[in-house]
Structure 1
């Protein structure tokens, strides 16, 4: 599989994960303390699959620097997502709005970097 196809597939998976992330953020900012467990797990599963594919592409094929930057940003966003899940969501504590914003903001910047790498060659 060539790097462009892997980057594009990763982009599509991240886009689907982002829809779930946006839905969860809207829930949180509309007053719901936590999203449904199934939605959080689906979001994490899709983002994890996309990140795994992105890391594989970066480790085994030549990719643009923006794809490598995207991988780093998504790793940081993933750490925030794990923190949101394990510290707050599973303990039934309201998700901190500032952390939801930071997690999503880093992921958006990573997504833009990945879009540039995958679709502008």
Structure 2
């Protein structure tokens, strides 16, 4: 299941790069891509939560999960700007991305 979560998060990250590129160029990101990005992230988090609830997950899964939940909260904050038709602060976009990448790399360390 960790492999599936990693694949899903990798796909979400690809969408995130496109979204971030739009915002960093002072353009609104495509709403549909934002929804897809968030949905993939949510699916990945649910898979990790299932692993955690089963009880025998390594500590890296918990750490990765916590980092990715923090990134998701940042994503909700970013979406709130989009819903108000305002560009979000670029620093928040960068922090969101960095926290998500750290969470992803923490999970990836399990299989490398």
Calculate the TM-score normalised by the size of structure 2. 0.95
| Partner Cα distance (1:92, 1:8) in 2 | 36
1:56 to partner: Cα distance: 1.1
Match of 2:91 in 1: 98
| Partner Cα distance (2:51, 2:60) in 1 | 13
| Partner Cα distance (1:105, 1:58) in 2 | 23
| Cα offsets for 1:8-44 (capped at 9, x unmatched) | 1000000000000011111111231x20110100000
Where do 4+ consecutive residues of structure 1 move more than 4 Å?
none
Stretches of structure 1 lacking an aligned partner (at least 5 in a row): 1-5
| Partner Cα distance (1:85, 1:28) in 2 | 12
Match of 1:89 in 2: 82
Stretches of structure 2 lacking an aligned partner (at least 5 in a row): none
Question: What is the count of residue pairs matched by the alignment?
Answer: 112
Match of 1:3 in 2: none
| Partner Cα distance (2:43, 2:55) in 1 | 18
| Partner Cα distance (1:15, 1:60) in 2 | 24
Root mean square deviation of aligned Cα: 0.9
